[in-house]
Chain A
Amino acid sequence: MTDLLEPRAIGRDLVRRDGVAKVRGTATYAYETPVERPAYAHPVQATVARGRVTAMDTATAEGLDGVLAVLTPSTAERLASTEDREFAVLQSDEVAFRGQLIGAVVAETSELARQAADSIRVTYAEQSHDTELSADRDDLYAPGKVNAGHETDTSEGDVAAAMASADVTIEQTYTTAMYHNNPLEPHSTTALWDPAGDGHLTLWDSTQGVHPDRAAVCEVFGLAQEQVRVICPYVGGGFGSKGTPHAHVMLAAMAARALPGRPVKLALTRQQMFFLAGYRTPTIQRMQLAADRDGRLSAVAIDVVVQTSRIKEFAEQAGVPARMMYAAPNRRSTHRVAALDVPVPSWMRAPGECPGMFGPEVALDELAEELGIDPIELRIRNEPEVDPDTGKPWSSRHLVECLREGAERFGWADRPPARHRDGNWLVGTGVAASVYPTMRQARSTANLRYEDGRYVAEIGAADLGTGAWTVLPQITADALGVDVADVDVRIGDTEYPIASVAGGSSGTNTWGSALVVAARAFREKFGGSPSDGDEVAGDVDQAAQDEDHAAYAFGAQFVEARVHADTGEIRVPRLLGVFAAGRIVNPRTARSQFVGGMTMGLSMALHENSVWDPQVGQVANHDLAEYHVTVNADVGDVQAHWLDEHDPFVNAMGSKGIGEIGIVGTAAAVVNAVHRATGVRVRHLPVTLDKLLPGL
């Protein structure tokens, strides 16, 4: 049990502290840092998918007035560590994927840098490439672990026997597309190398974690921590793609080191982001469900195939959520990976859970239809008493309550019959469940000081729009027992103590716990009337950590879909989610998180698709004109609600993570609603009209 805080500031609908700066546009993002005499770097990318660079003719670039440096594999500095091959920028002539960084030009202006980079003529020894993912490749392998340290395969009971003897079975393959995070702020870095003494590198980098960012840079360049400072007060979205640095950060630092004393700015173009900033692997999910006539599951199995790059393994854990979601005595999950000549995949909002709840939640809808059981009732009948994966009791699990409250709010009982027609529109409703683990990272420290009558906390955390600037003071105020207006929390700088990445919906849990430890230690040491300069530190590892329960947030998503009977046009006028995510620290920023996740889920369902061209080995639609994301007119009524859930086990705030669960399950709910409207079952995302028209 944790020592739960008495909520006073927690739970209040406070306006974002960074709000005024953001509506004026004066919040400074990485590229925008005001620096003296900046130079501009523009990358050179490989135009073959596999091979070697045999020559780079840089004469034209070097001859341009205003070009300051040209970096190529033969002129660039040798890095201290090339172990992480994504970061081993310009360290060899090898090309492992199309779009890989093979050079850069630094110039007095951005226009000139780009012109000079474009003028470099590259000759390659090209090799045949292999970039096509399929489930029947003969070189699929089982990774040692999958992302977040999960077991690659799990097995319990006998799925084959259960499938053979069940009243009803579902056996289908579902696929999710390749997706690119596409935060609105392109990945950007301003880098300054001060050569005095042993040298010092300052990076104003767009990152979800200044400390992990610094650790990676120190490793690659062989620098001590004190030699590198990373600053990032504002992040223009990340959704996982800024959770780890990517190759361009190393390139920006190399460019700065080539021009000591001169700040260098590097921003990836939107097009370059499709090669260099990570992405979500496509997934192929073979699902098996076995059930009796009453809908009680006897088997759940998921076999997942994903891709990674040949130079760095990232194995998305899409089979993981099916391990714990529903009760069934016979269970199996496997992950197999194809290593291809493709860019390096990485985190994208709810890696694992987001794609991994698509197949299972659509399969369950197919089972409900087969059995003639309401899909909500089917889920309730398979509610597990304890975590089927670990056998641990739940810290709290209110999926059933989410389903029931959502049904009530959405008007599920009065939903129109299948293939209901309203004028030219076919109307259907669908439901799916959501889940996301409650995670706390191992390391984070907060410093708390009394200064000029105010409480000032410092922690190297990040706010990517999540609300950390606003929420962390609320937590600190309650832990101190003071008015939130008397508390400042400073984040986004490695000058502040170490903090974990803003990822895995773990930020508030981790940083908040460290702040609570610091606040309680402060009160214990200095009492209620501190003196100016009184200061303590608090570590997250001193906060109570429950190991005996399985802790997850749950949710239920409801969708109304309308499909035009003649054209197949798909509209989603209503999207409603109910979540059980512990105590909500700030309902205003929380609602935006839930609704934002659901909106991105709608985008995944209907629009997003990085179309892979295997002939050239790249995403064909690599810009925002052709990689469609949901726009304002695509969105109707999106509502997020939450239960007043009390979980005594998760942390002192009683809060679970909320940044990712909103995207989980949305796409399945859309597919299920579209099926109800049209009778067409789309198993391969996105749902587009060409997939519906033949069935209308």
Chain B
Amino acid sequence: MKHIVIIGGGIAGMQCAVELSSLGISATVIEKEHATGGKLASWHRLFPSFTPAEDVLGELRLKFAKAANISLRCGVTATEITPRKVTLSTGDELECDAVVLATGFTLFDARIKEEYGYGIYDNVVTSADLEDMFNRGEIVLKNGNKPRRIALLHCVGSRDEKVCQRHCSKVCCVTGVKQAIELKEMFPTADVFNFYMDIRMFGPGYEEMYREAQVKHNVHFVRGRISEVSPTIDGRLQLKAEDTLTGRPLKMSVDMLVLLVGMRANEENAELAARYGLQCQESGFMKPQDNFMHNVESNVEGIFYAGTITSPKSVGETLNEATTVALRIKDWLQKQ
């Protein structure tokens, strides 16, 4: 039986293992954390249907547990990767027929954009923090009050040359609209503002959700990036921005600011590229052979990519791609 080593136990790695198993190929998943699920494990609900992340992950975990010929190694990392052998941090060596890299992405560290005050002022949170708060079912300000005016800022660490992140992280626009609706549902009397450069509603149901946010939930959209944030005397946050549709500068005091942090390529990608002859894109994400017929193959024979290691992707796209990788691997193994 052919055997594949998958690096990364997020949804891409898990789905890939499940699909390989159904094709009669065995797989070992290497996960550096102590549990599978990756970033999805800490997310609350998914756009555009508000499906609980738990539902998706629960079903995937179940399939993963039931599938034959899958083994899981948690709490270890791969120290040496070749298409035929992977060495683990424990010293174990895993023989294999191909390797799938599914190591995902890194969340942009909002502290780099110091002007937004993350980690400096109270009540400046990231979109990931907000999901965490949703999970705990409690959104309160530092002083214990409920927020009456909330701003969500798009493109924090995306499409921003000043922090060397030129690419679009793709999912934050939709997440921002989703979170705005969720906030409105929790605090119907609160004002919720989205500050954006462009609203990119590229998927099925996204545009509808965007419209619903405006028509049904009365979420406000302001086209313009926030330039800086400062605290007010009464402990609120003052935003300075430019409303580029009216062409005027704008100042606004809010109780809470949500920074929609982007997806950043893992720091390790450059090292992977240097050590194993792989290629990185300018954004730092790994470069597949092409964007069409070989979009999950690396330039090294026997090394495949799944999920956000190659570019920002939504949950649905990641799951689809993981399936594709399994099929391509089967095809590739047969040609060998």
Binding between chains A and B:
no
